[in-house]
Amino acid sequence: MATAQSTRTTSITVEVDDMTYTDVVEPRMLLVQYLRERLGKTGTLVGCDTTNCGACTVHLDGQSVKSCTMFAVQADGHAVTTIEGLAQGGELHPMQKAFHEKHALQCGFCTPGMIMQSIDLIKEHPDPDEHTVRDGLEGNLCRCTGYQNIVAAVQEAARTTRESAVSTTEEGAA
Ligand code: FES
Ligand code: FES
């Protein structure tokens, strides 16, 4: 007698780039698949199947994660930010600006993941030296640039972020 195959599904509610989505997903669906295939967030890329390249990096509750290593159901009740949610009011995020200004990309495939990881990095290390940047980006591979300009961009974004924090504090004290 043939047995009916049932596909288990689960309902999840996730905030992605400041919008709330409720969707029914299979438990095996990866977060990166959910973002790309369900929500059309194709700025988050897939560059490997070994958790190696970092092209799929997003933020989960403000911390960088590789979205190919998580199931969508694990994001239930959490906030995800992708590269597409960084710019605010038509203004690029300081890390995006720095990557642009320092020419920190060639083909651009690694760039969304690099930027997401770098934002997390400078939160922990507001004034990183070269070694700290290289260390913090070791889970993100770039096959084009040789990393030199990426390091320069991260340090530049760290500098502008420190400066804007100082000016905000000064404005608050005035
Ligand atoms: S796609 Fe390569 S680490 Fe996620
Ligand atoms: S710019 Fe091509 S992989 Fe990094």
47-82 per-position pLDDT tens digit: 999 999 999 999 999 999 999 999 999 999 999 999
Tokens of 129: 């030296």
Instruction: Say what the pLDDT of residue 170 is.
Output: 77
Q: For residue 2, what pLDDT is reported?
A: 43
Tens of pLDDT, residues 159-171: 999 999 887 777 7
Q: Which residue(s) pair with 30 in the sheet?
A: 71
For residue 46, the ligand 1 atom closest to its alpha carbon is: 1
Question: What rounded mean pLDDT belongs to the chain?
Answer: 94
- The whole-number average pLDDT for the span 141-162 is 97
Determine which residue's CA is closest to atom 4 belonging to ligand 2: 142
Q: How far is CA 57 from the centre of its chain?
A: 4
Determine which residue's CA is closest to atom 2 belonging to ligand 2: 107
CATH 3.10.20.30 correct for 10-85 = yes
Ligand 2 site, residue 146, Cβ cutoff 6 A: no
Q: How far apart are CA 122 and CA 161, in angstroms?
A: 9
* Options 3.20.130.10, 1.20.1440.230, 2.60.40.10, 1.10.150.120; CATH of 94-168: 1.10.150.120
Which residue minimizes the CA distance to atom 1 of ligand 1?
Answer: 46
Map out the domains of the chain as residue ranges. 10-85, 94-168
Confidence of residue 3 (pLDDT cuts 50, 70, 90): very low
pLDDT of residue 151: 98
